[in-house]
Chains A and B, each alone.
Chain A
Amino acid sequence: MKTGFAGGIARQFINSKLTPLLMVAFMAIGIYSSYLTPREEEPQIDVPIADILFSYPGASPKEIESRVMQPLEKVVANIPGVEYVYSTSMPGQAMLIVQFYVGEDIERSLVKMYNEIMKHMDQMPHGTSLPLVKTRSIDDVPVLGLTFWSENYDDYQLKRIAQEVNNEIEQVTDVSETKVIGGRSRQIRVMLNNGAMARYNVDALSIAQKIQIANQQFNTGAFNKNDVEYLVEAGEFLQTSDDVSNLVVGIHNGSPVYLKQVAEILDGPEEPIQYVNFGYGSMDEKKNEFAGDYGAVTISVAKRRGADAMKVADQILEKISHLEKDLIPSDVHVDVTRNYGETASHKVSELLMHLAGAIIAVTFVVMLAMGWRGGLVVFLSVPITFALTMFSYYFLDYTLNRITLFALVFVTGIVVDDSIIIAENMHRHFKMKKLPFIQAALRSIDEVGNPTILATFTVIAAVLPMVFVSGLMGPYMSPMPIGASIAMIFSLLVALTITPYLAFRLLKVVEKDDKVKKAFKLENSPIYKIYYKTMQPMLESSWKRWTFIGTITFFLLASMTLVYFKMVAVKMLPFDNKNEFQVIIDMPEGTTLERTAAVTKELAAYIAQQEEVLNYQSYVGTASPMNFNGLVRHYDLRRGSNVADIQVNLTDKTERKAQSHDIAKAMRPGIQQLAKKFNANAKVVEVPPGPPVLSTLVAEIYGPDYDQQIEVAHQVKDLFANTADVVDIDWQVEDDQVEYKFNVLKEKAALAGISTQQVVNSVAMALGGQEVTQLYAEKEHEQVGIALRFSEDERSSIEDLKKINIMSMTGQKVALGDVVEIKEEIQDKSIYRKNQKRVVYVTADIAGALESPVYGILDMSNNLDKIQLPEGYTLNEEFTQQPFVQDNYSLKWDGEWQITYEVFRDLGAAFAVVLLVIYLLIIGWFQNFTVPFVMMVAIPLSLVGILIGHWLMGAFFTATSMIGLIALAGIMVRNSILLIDFINLRLKDGAPLKDAVIEAGAVRTTPILLTAGTVVIGAVVILFDPIFQGLAISLMGGTIASTFLTLVIVPLIYYMTEKKKYPVEEAPVAETPKTENNLSNEEEN
């Protein structure tokens, strides 16, 4: 049999015994792939980031900036692929953050960067340390957090247990990096007594030397005697604290001076530099039993790239339950305080359920239109499409995450189309009974083959340009168009191979009583009547026509004003419903660790009382295990006695009604009020739904003078504070902290025989507690340091420090106070730079009704003129890029705004490309330059439904809404094609234009409604997902509005453009349909 292209493919499969086998095989590999593909919650983002740390002891921030950072920034900025270079010059140290473009090859980028830096190390000033390069990627985010706490064990003992457990965890496959956070390590603390040292005529430096010298042992060689070789090992390591205390550190009056005589030696936990605590919240029933706040140690576990978080977490937890039998004491509790494997797995299962729901819902719609057999055909072919898509995900190295799966849910309503077209046409041909079934089947497939292929490519053309969304949102967006396009291609293949097989078997037996049925008359169908009544007046009167078009235009414009009047708020992505959030606490610089810990405890106690809080872990002086947000915000690098954060875990989202965002929002005022009482700055930080940014709202202040920049930033900060809905305001300028400068008086020191180095070392030892050497302890996990330090009461004031004795070269004791001059100063502020320009950051978050930073920025923009500037300067406002020159002050809005701007810019560009490609496709098909415009009229009409839909649902117009808008363009144009195609068909038959227009509407309404129905119903299942709600509303609202409007307005406009070509037929035609219609009505009566 001779067939066309589509029929040719179908012929190979329609009767082949292989087809059912292929169906089973495809399903099997699909299910197996979905099992093999790693599951995770967030999509993989390949953005190479490196933190480069330098230390340059003693240098001021300004010096570091000009000597180290500026040259280095230039070097790094010249590396191709680098997007941002952030630098921070602090007193004595510096950090450079290099961020490459998203999607750059991680290894290659970092090697390039390393290479460039190393090449220029010779230009670094003397005294700079070698750079410490720390790379970070999304896989560094720990997937599992285990918190050990106990009533009976202190954090020192807990740490030792945790280290043992950690050893076991690291043996699990696919575990990459683990960290033990909190707890104190073992240390031999040598607490020097200034008075005793003076008595025995020793000083700290000489003691340090003695200890170092004493701690030696090595293989010195061998000697031979009587033909035997004897090995000699000399010396002995310090192995216990007794060894240390019995060291002889000097000779006084002819007798040895032991270390224990001049110092107290403590073997045990080091002095605390951090506090980690754990406590239950009000929602956990264990709160009654364990009401307090317990010292804790957290182990965080990151997984290897590409590994399945769920599997890794399960294995570790199994191991823990095994270890609880012997290694972990029964009164040490191990709580899982983070399990991203579980949340990812939940998310994926939830989405797979959504997918199944969508398939069933769509099948139901098809059944209504085509009967249960037609529904069955569709129901069987769609899963095969998705199975094949899953298989390609596996091959493309995609993971199953919320984006890749949403791509599938989103196209469910669209992929059924191909199968519907094929099945419906076969069914129609079978009913006609003009040809033997097999030949009818192939002929029917040939008949719709090309339109099917065109429809598929129109939809692909509509979604595929979204691949080019750049920046951090790229990895969030690109799986959508790629996944959707793959699914569309497979749906076409399935429609040409498997659907014919199924339809041939399921549909050919129906309607045997065809001859009994009354002959079908189009004019009698209810759709025709309704359509005729709607269209006829408008075809007759140009006045009515224009009124209708005018009304539609008015609605379109009116719905757009919803955005202007903020009835529909624009936001990049709404917050997801998570099980955690974080409270970041900053005390003023200069606060002690103990004070910070006390404040944190207060806040934690407050949080624990709140609704829906399951438990919390507070980290004082250190940082909680990094999360997705912290990756960019560098929260994990927070160290120091004035910082703390509290990690709050909420009850599982399935067990509560409130969204995590609302909980966080409700808790914020209370937390901040409490924090204010203690002079602390507390921020409530949620896991962002999209790519992480420094802060939701960031104002970057640029200008010619850094002090003035800080002054301007201060005013901007006040402006933030006075703007409604702007919360969590902070800036990156440190508070003033008093710093004493010990300047060595050169002459005096020289006369006393003391070198500057001695002074520096003595002070350092007195305050910092220098680790002079390490204990030789074979069984310890970490090296046990021996730290020399003055006892607390001898280093608590300037007067104490002045009394420190230093031994001169002649053996005389000289008090430190005699050779130094002490000045009180304010510590230099750190200098921040972004892409080689000095910047001051002011950060904030947005809460309230309009949660989008866009509105906050607009509000503040209006008030920027109130900011006082130095004479002769103005404040420029930048929205999209850093200022080009810095001879004037400028404010650049950044944070979420930057990403919002980039996403909507790229999506807008994608939309333009979509329109162009669709235009080209239609020209190719219809060979006409004007027809495409008529067809594309349908596209803006979807906006009416989309915007009104968002308004009714009170939802944000988000990036996903925009995706919906763009994808709809394809579907709407496809509908227009169906209509105009039919009009042309009838015109060719010689039908009058008006008849053709009405018949087209009447005949093609059913398939158009069917498509619309499947799209709408398929979208219902995602309507209640916080992130993809916008997409669902766009698909539903847009489809409903534009389908109905398309059905009327596209034929109408086509009529208006074409009527001049068919002038003659106009007069007689006007009467005919009316009479026919009346006649048929009479017949019925």
Chain B
Amino acid sequence: MMKFIIIQSAEAYHHELEQIFRDIHINSYSELPVDGFMESADGHSDISNWFGSSKNPYRYFISFTFLEEDKANELLERIKVFNEEAEGISPISAYISAIEKFV
């Protein structure tokens, strides 16, 4: 069964994600840079900004690819392992969604 995989990750993890793809032999995937906005998640973070004035977007990228279901699950598993190692800072999110029809 073909699945659509969407992965959202901080730019800094680009290299690591690439490594994961290579490890489980995912040979084709696409990438888009994404500017993310988050209105002060904890409510006060930006207020304590001493000097800054401009609000810069959080820079993410989105990778997507089409995989067999078991391969998709394997990828998700690897990302989960990675996130645990990364001490909870900006974890990589990955989504699997079904493909209803394609030609």
List residues of chain A with CB under 8 Å of any chain B CB: 1-2, 4, 421, 424-425, 428, 432-439, 443-444, 446-448, 450-452, 519-522, 978, 981-982, 984-986, 999, 1003-1004, 1006-1007
Give the 10 A-B residue pairs with the shortest CB-CB distance, closest first.
A436-B12, A439-B12, A447-B52, A1007-B50, A1-B11, A981-B53, A448-B51, A421-B51, A448-B52, A435-B90
Interface residues of B in 83-103 (CB under 8 A from A): 86, 88-90
Known: A1-B59, A2-B33, A439-B10. A434 touches B38 (CB 8 A): yes
B32 on interface, CB distance cutoff 8 Å: no
Known: A425-B51, A436-B10, A1007-B51. A519 touches B89 (CB 8 A): no
Q: Does A522 lie within 8 Å of B47, measured CB to CB?
A: yes
A433 / chain B contacts, CB cutoff of 8 Å: 88-89
Q: Does A447 lie within 8 Å of B54, measured CB to CB?
A: yes
Complex CA distance for A435 and B46, rounded to whole angstroms:
15
Known: A434-B90, A521-B44. A985 touches B53 (CB 8 A): yes
Complex CA distance for A436 and B90, rounded to whole angstroms:
6
Beta-carbon nearest neighbor of B90 in chain A:
A435
Partner of B44, one of A1, A4, A421, A519: A519
Complex CA distance for A432 and B40, rounded to whole angstroms:
10
Distance between A436 CB and nearest chain B CB, rounded to angstroms: 4
Distance between B57 CB and nearest chain A CB, rounded to angstroms: 9
Partner of B50, one of A424, A520, A521, A522: A424
Complex CA distance for A448 and B51, rounded to whole angstroms:
6
Complex CA distance for A448 and B54, rounded to whole angstroms:
8
Q: Does A425 lie within 8 Å of B53, measured CB to CB?
A: no
Partner of A439, one of B11, B41, B47: B11
B51 / chain A contacts, CB cutoff of 8 Å: 421, 424-425, 448, 451-452, 978, 1007
Distance between B69 CB and nearest chain A CB, rounded to angstroms: 30
B45 on interface, CB distance cutoff 8 Å: yes
Beyond contacts A428-B49, A985-B53, A999-B47: 18 other A-B pairs, Cβ-Cβ < 8 A, are A424-B51, A425-B50, A428-B48, A434-B38, A434-B58, A434-B89, A439-B59, A443-B56, A443-B58, A446-B56, A450-B54, A451-B51, A452-B51, A522-B48, A981-B53, A982-B49, A986-B47, A1004-B50
Q: Does A435 lie within 8 Å of B10, measured CB to CB?
A: yes
A978 / chain B contacts, CB cutoff of 8 Å: 50-51
Complex CA distance for A520 and B48, rounded to whole angstroms:
9
The interface size bin for chain B is: 20 to 34
6 contacts between A and B (CB under 8 A): A2-B11, A424-B51, A428-B50, A436-B13, A978-B51, A1003-B50
Interface residues of B in 42-76 (CB under 8 A from A): 42, 44-54, 56, 58-59
Known: A4-B56, A443-B59, A447-B54. A434 touches B49 (CB 8 A): no
Q: Does B50 lie within 8 Å of A435, measured CB to CB?
A: no
Distance between A388 CB and nearest chain B CB, rounded to angstroms: 24
Q: Does A451 lie within 8 Å of B53, measured CB to CB?
A: yes
Beta-carbon nearest neighbor of A512 in chain B:
B87
Distance between B46 CB and nearest chain A CB, rounded to angstroms: 8
Distance between A25 CB and nearest chain B CB, rounded to angstroms: 29
A519 / chain B contacts, CB cutoff of 8 Å: 42, 44
Partner of A1, one of B12, B53, B86: B12
A434 / chain B contacts, CB cutoff of 8 Å: 38, 41, 45, 58, 89-90
Complex CA distance for A448 and B56, rounded to whole angstroms:
10
Q: Does A451 lie within 8 Å of B56, measured CB to CB?
A: no
Classify the interface of chain A: helix, strand, loop or mixed.
Answer: helix
A425 / chain B contacts, CB cutoff of 8 Å: 49-52
A1003 / chain B contacts, CB cutoff of 8 Å: 47-50
Partner of A435, one of B12, B42, B47: B12
Complex CA distance for A37 and B88, rounded to whole angstroms:
54
Q: Does B58 lie within 8 Å of A451, measured CB to CB?
A: no
Complex CA distance for A433 and B12, rounded to whole angstroms:
13
Beta-carbon nearest neighbor of A925 in chain B:
B53
A421 / chain B contacts, CB cutoff of 8 Å: 50-51
Q: Does B56 lie within 8 Å of A447, measured CB to CB?
A: yes
Complex CA distance for A821 and B52, rounded to whole angstroms:
96
List residues of chain B with CB under 8 Å of any chain A CB: 10-14, 33, 38, 41-42, 44-54, 56, 58-59, 86, 88-90
Beta-carbon nearest neighbor of A432 in chain B:
B45
Beta-carbon nearest neighbor of A525 in chain B:
B48
Q: Does A438 lie within 8 Å of B12, measured CB to CB?
A: yes
B49 / chain A contacts, CB cutoff of 8 Å: 425, 428, 447, 982, 1003
A438 / chain B contacts, CB cutoff of 8 Å: 12
Complex CA distance for A1004 and B88, rounded to whole angstroms:
30
Distance between B9 CB and nearest chain A CB, rounded to angstroms: 10
Distance between B103 CB and nearest chain A CB, rounded to angstroms: 35
Q: Does B86 lie within 8 Å of A436, measured CB to CB?
A: yes
A450 / chain B contacts, CB cutoff of 8 Å: 53-54
Complex CA distance for A434 and B40, rounded to whole angstroms:
11
Distance between B81 CB and nearest chain A CB, rounded to angstroms: 17
Complex CA distance for A519 and B45, rounded to whole angstroms:
10
Complex CA distance for A446 and B49, rounded to whole angstroms:
13
Complex CA distance for A450 and B53, rounded to whole angstroms:
9
Complex CA distance for A826 and B50, rounded to whole angstroms:
81
B47 / chain A contacts, CB cutoff of 8 Å: 522, 986, 999, 1003
Complex CA distance for A982 and B50, rounded to whole angstroms:
9
Distance between B7 CB and nearest chain A CB, rounded to angstroms: 15
A424 / chain B contacts, CB cutoff of 8 Å: 50-51
Complex CA distance for A1004 and B49, rounded to whole angstroms:
8
Complex CA distance for A2 and B42, rounded to whole angstroms:
25
Known: A435-B10, A452-B51. A522 touches B44 (CB 8 A): yes
B12 / chain A contacts, CB cutoff of 8 Å: 1, 435-439
Distance between A287 CB and nearest chain B CB, rounded to angstroms: 63
Q: Does B58 lie within 8 Å of A435, measured CB to CB?
A: yes
Complex CA distance for A568 and B58, rounded to whole angstroms:
55
Complex CA distance for A408 and B89, rounded to whole angstroms:
42
Complex CA distance for A448 and B53, rounded to whole angstroms:
7
Complex CA distance for A424 and B89, rounded to whole angstroms:
20
A986 / chain B contacts, CB cutoff of 8 Å: 47
Distance between A599 CB and nearest chain B CB, rounded to angstroms: 69
A522 / chain B contacts, CB cutoff of 8 Å: 44, 47-48
Distance between B61 CB and nearest chain A CB, rounded to angstroms: 9
Q: Which of B11, B33, B58, B88 has its CB near the most chain A CB atoms (within 10 A)?
A: B11
Complex CA distance for A986 and B52, rounded to whole angstroms:
12
A451 / chain B contacts, CB cutoff of 8 Å: 51-53
Distance between A396 CB and nearest chain B CB, rounded to angstroms: 32
B33 / chain A contacts, CB cutoff of 8 Å: 2
Complex CA distance for A520 and B59, rounded to whole angstroms:
26
B50 / chain A contacts, CB cutoff of 8 Å: 421, 424-425, 428, 978, 1003-1004, 1006-1007
Complex CA distance for A1007 and B53, rounded to whole angstroms:
14
Complex CA distance for A432 and B41, rounded to whole angstroms:
10
Complex CA distance for A28 and B86, rounded to whole angstroms:
39
Distance between A467 CB and nearest chain B CB, rounded to angstroms: 29
Beta-carbon nearest neighbor of A1002 in chain B:
B47
Beta-carbon nearest neighbor of B13 in chain A:
A436
Complex CA distance for A424 and B49, rounded to whole angstroms:
9
Beta-carbon nearest neighbor of A984 in chain B:
B53
Complex CA distance for A437 and B12, rounded to whole angstroms:
9
Distance between B23 CB and nearest chain A CB, rounded to angstroms: 20
Distance between A924 CB and nearest chain B CB, rounded to angstroms: 14
Distance between A711 CB and nearest chain B CB, rounded to angstroms: 69
Complex CA distance for A519 and B50, rounded to whole angstroms:
18
Complex CA distance for A139 and B98, rounded to whole angstroms:
88
Complex CA distance for A590 and B51, rounded to whole angstroms:
76
Partner of A520, one of B10, B41, B44, B52: B44
Beta-carbon nearest neighbor of A455 in chain B:
B51
Complex CA distance for A1023 and B20, rounded to whole angstroms:
62
Distance between A772 CB and nearest chain B CB, rounded to angstroms: 85
B90 / chain A contacts, CB cutoff of 8 Å: 434-436, 439
A1004 / chain B contacts, CB cutoff of 8 Å: 50
B10 / chain A contacts, CB cutoff of 8 Å: 435-436, 439
Complex CA distance for A1006 and B88, rounded to whole angstroms:
30
Complex CA distance for A1062 and B69, rounded to whole angstroms:
57
